[in-house]
Amino acid sequence: MPADPLVVGLDFGTLSGRAVVVRVRDGAELGTAVTEYRHGVVDDRLPATAEELPPGWALQVPSDYVDVLRTAVPAALADAGADPRDVIGIGTDFTACTMIPATADGTPLSELPEFAGNPHAYVKLWRHHAAQPQADRINAAARELGEPWLPRYGGLISSEWEFAKALQLFEEAPEVYRAMRHWVEAADWIVWQLTGTYVRNACTAGYKGIHQDGRYPGREFLRALNPGFESFVDEKLDHPIGQLGSLAGKLSTQAAAWTGLPAGIAVAVGNVDAHVTAPAAQAVEPGQMVAIMGTSTCHVMNGADLREVPGMCGVVDGGIVPGLWGYEAGQSGVGDIFGWFVEHCVPASYSDTARAEGLSLHEVLTRLAEQQEIGEHGLVALDWHSGNRSVLVDHELSGVIAGQTLSTRPEHVYRALLEATAFGTRKIIETFEAAGVPVTELIVAGGLTKNQLLMQIYADVTGLPLSVIGSAQGPALGSAIHAAIAAGAYPDVRAAAAAMGSVQRMAYQPVLSNVSAYDELYAEYTALHDYFGRGGNDVLHRLAARRRELATVAKGQN
């Protein structure tokens, strides 16, 4: 063991992968590097053929992930000025339910020449939402057959998950499905690349793979979805599961060559960007809810007891920390919604200001939004531009902005969108509390913590003091913490989190007058939420159906 050992944490996000070199004894982050994925999110045209993708599709290219191993890890080591021989372990986290169809040896089918032109052979990114019809059928069949696992997922599973995406693959591209031996979480695929061993992680297997009490949904249920799908679990999914923080294997010689790290060091079982962040924020006790706010938001929290929360993403034994029930909820679009607005809805004059002042458009709009009184813009928005992950679990819903007039300006809408996402988080917290899972502390992590106005809005809307994670790279630090545990430097997650995690407690306090102003706007949000989302009017579903229909017709004409 080196005198002052180091670990490497690797965080694979939606757009890029980040490596961080961390000191084991105190969690100090010594060096970091980021590699943008060359192909980013493929949601427009397939790079190999330029084929247009239908609405709701979101793919990725697996070689982009390996590029992160080759470039970000050596760059982070160089940035840290670290001697690779001091590194004792590597841990990884990924977006969840980013799914790779692979052969028996882990080769992604998109890398086989015969499938390079088939969109279904590519990685289906977490926010690929085109399997909603399959998710609807899974939910209907589960209700009808009284499947015992359904309440563990708040009564509805999402189109983002393993079964819905796999059923879409089976039904729309049977030739790809037949050629696939393993339906692999990218979280586990990357560990497979590092070690040469395939281990499923307890987190995604539980939350996204419907693995509960040691079982997956049975053959009878799968047959009810589609007779040919009966053997999906046995033939494509089932595989040994590793607990979080356990050793998945040792770094292979090939991966050592890619990364510049010593072969044979510990590689931790894969993990998810959201869940892995809880120990980095020292939030591993029941009641401490962590909101990881980036392109999307995930809410994760441990609980001592098992409860059924309507519309939650899931509750999994050992899903965040071995030995506790891990609860998850989420919002599919948060930073993505602000990003969409900035990119597509702001006149050039704002970009000119941003350029002249060396600011981002987000910063310019935030500064203007900050000058508004609460409610002055006269707007209420619904944060559903990427569908609703909790508590309605419906990706056919879409964004709504009510109250626009000829005086409405981009900064008004921008603020309304910030607020809408805060209202969405409040709805999730209230739903947890009503189901007997009290939220005692809200801790925020992720890229959006840099927006101070947004943070204050969250404190004012939820009425809770906000703690903020100490690290700007929470998931990567969380992965490093798991690497240290897998390497044997700490006995468990609690001990490692206490030594290596960090949090700034009560960084934002709710302002009483703001809280009551937001109570009123939140009541309007709830009215719109229930009207458009709970059957008051199905207009959003009808519009989604029309969008899909016309896209299919257009595709047929090409």
Ligand X SMILES: O=C(CO)[C@@H](O)[C@@H](O)COP(=O)(O)O
Contact partner at residue 278 from ligand ADP, ligand X, none, CB < 5 to 8 Å by partner kind: none
Q: Cβ of residue 316: shortest distance to ligand X, in angstroms?
A: 11
Contact partner at residue 272 from ligand X, ligand ADP, none, CB < 5 to 8 Å by partner kind: ligand X
* Closer residue to ligand X, CB minimum distance, 96 or 166: 96
Contact partner at residue 298 from ligand X, ligand ADP, none, CB < 5 to 8 Å by partner kind: ligand X
Contact partner at residue 542 from ligand X, ligand ADP, none, CB < 5 to 8 Å by partner kind: none
Contact partner at residue 126 from ligand ADP, ligand X, none, CB < 5 to 8 Å by partner kind: ligand X
In this structure, how many other beta carbons lie within 10 angstroms of the beta carbon of residue 54? 14
Find the farthest-apart pair of alpha carbons in the chain and give their distance in angstroms, rounded.
67
Q: Cβ of residue 330: shortest distance to ligand ADP, in angstroms?
A: 12
Q: Cβ of residue 122: shortest distance to ligand ADP, in angstroms?
A: 19
* Closer residue to ligand ADP, CB minimum distance, 250 or 362: 362
* Closer residue to ligand X, CB minimum distance, 134 or 271: 271
User: How far from the centroid of its chain's Cα atoms is residue 362's Cα?
Assistant: 22
3-class secondary-structure state, position 435: coil
* Closer residue to ligand X, CB minimum distance, 95 or 451: 95
Q: What is the radius of gyration, based on Cα positions, of the chain? A: 23
Contact partner at residue 191 from ligand X, ligand ADP, none, CB < 5 to 8 Å by partner kind: none
Q: Cβ of residue 161: shortest distance to ligand X, in angstroms?
A: 9
In this structure, how many other beta carbons lie within 10 angstroms of the beta carbon of residue 163? 28
Q: Which residues bind ligand ADP (CB under 6 A)?
A: 13-15, 294-295, 335-336, 338-339, 360, 362-363, 366, 446-448, 450-451
Q: Cβ of residue 397: shortest distance to ligand X, in angstroms?
A: 17
* Closer residue to ligand ADP, CB minimum distance, 447 or 463: 447
Contact partner at residue 451 from ligand X, ligand ADP, none, CB < 5 to 8 Å by partner kind: ligand ADP
Per DSSP, helices labelled H in 358-473 are 361-370, 410-434, 452-462
* Closer residue to ligand ADP, CB minimum distance, 235 or 370: 370
Which one, of 439, 458, 423, 462, lies nearest residue 283 by Cα? Answer: 439
Which one, of 339, 379, 334, lies nearest residue 361 by Cα? Answer: 339
* Closer residue to ligand ADP, CB minimum distance, 27 or 330: 330
From the number of C-beta atoms within 10 Å of its C-beta (0-12, 13-18, 19+), residue 303 rates as buried
Query: Contact at 8 Å (CB) between 160 and 208?
Result: yes
Per DSSP, helices labelled H in 227-289 are 232, 253-259, 277-280
Query: Contact at 8 Å (CB) between 138 and 156?
Result: no
Sheet containing strand 99-102, edge to edge, reads 59-60, 123-124, 99-102, 182-185
Contact partner at residue 448 from ligand X, ligand ADP, none, CB < 5 to 8 Å by partner kind: ligand ADP
Q: Cβ of residue 299: shortest distance to ligand X, in angstroms?
A: 10
Q: Cβ of residue 365: shortest distance to ligand ADP, in angstroms?
A: 8
* Closer residue to ligand ADP, CB minimum distance, 86 or 273: 273
Q: Which residues bind ligand X (CB under 6 A)?
A: 13-14, 95-96, 126, 272-274, 292, 294-296, 298, 328, 330
Q: Is the peptide bond before 391 cis (omega within 30 degrees of 0)?
A: yes
Q: Which residues pair with 382 in a beta bridge?
A: 400
Both tokens of 541, joined, read: 């579903």
* Closer residue to ligand ADP, CB minimum distance, 82 or 476: 476
Q: Cβ of residue 448: shortest distance to ligand ADP, in angstroms?
A: 5
Query: Contact at 8 Å (CB) between 466 and 444?
Result: yes
Residues 6 or more apart from 133 whose CB is under 8 A from it? none
* Closer residue to ligand ADP, CB minimum distance, 270 or 303: 270
Query: Contact at 8 Å (CB) between 19 and 75?
Result: yes
Contact partner at residue 447 from ligand ADP, ligand X, none, CB < 5 to 8 Å by partner kind: ligand ADP
Query: Contact at 8 Å (CB) between 445 and 60?
Result: no
Q: Report how far apart the first and last C-alpha atoms of the chain are (Å, whole number).
A: 62
Contact partner at residue 362 from ligand X, ligand ADP, none, CB < 5 to 8 Å by partner kind: ligand ADP
Q: Cβ of residue 315: shortest distance to ligand X, in angstroms?
A: 13
Q: Cβ of residue 457: shortest distance to ligand ADP, in angstroms?
A: 11
Residues 6 or more apart from 103 whose CB is under 8 A from it? 109, 112, 179, 180, 181, 182
